[in-house]
Amino acid sequence: MKRKMILPLLAIVFAVAGAVGSMPLSQIAWFNDSGEVGQATITNPTDKTCAVGRTVQCKIGLLNAYDTQNNATNQNSAGLMKYNP
């Protein structure tokens, strides 16, 4: 009976450990590159959660990351995506 339970239990342990150890999903944000507005993956930082109202600016390459297309179009500082260090 114990042998039948060990293999499924090990499978569950490794599945949970793999999920916890994997990288988080990448974040998408809007950018404005000299009037050209687009959407892309935040490149800096890759290990922190970016959101409005935090302290350090998130970037897409060298460009500022915005929360909405409208904020990127208008380069509205209220929509800048930031992270806490």
| Whole-model pTM over 0.85 | no
Give the model's pLDDT for residue 84: 95
Q: Are strands 28-33 and 36-41 parallel, antiparallel or unpaired?
A: antiparallel
Six-digit token string for 25: 């999903």
pLDDT, mean over the chain: 86
| 65 and 29 Cβ atoms separated by less than 8 Å | yes
Q: What span, in angstroms and rounded, lies between the C-alpha atoms of 78 and 13?
A: 43
Give the model's pLDDT for residue 30: 97
pLDDT higher than 70, residue 22: no
- Residues contacting residue 72 through CB under 8 Å, at least 6 positions apart: 30, 31, 32, 37, 66, 79
Give the model's pLDDT for residue 12: 72
37-60 residue pLDDT tens: 999 999 999 999 999 999 999 999
pLDDT higher than 80, residue 9: no
Residue 48: exposed, middle, or buried by beta-carbon count in 10 A (0-12, 13-18, 19+)? middle
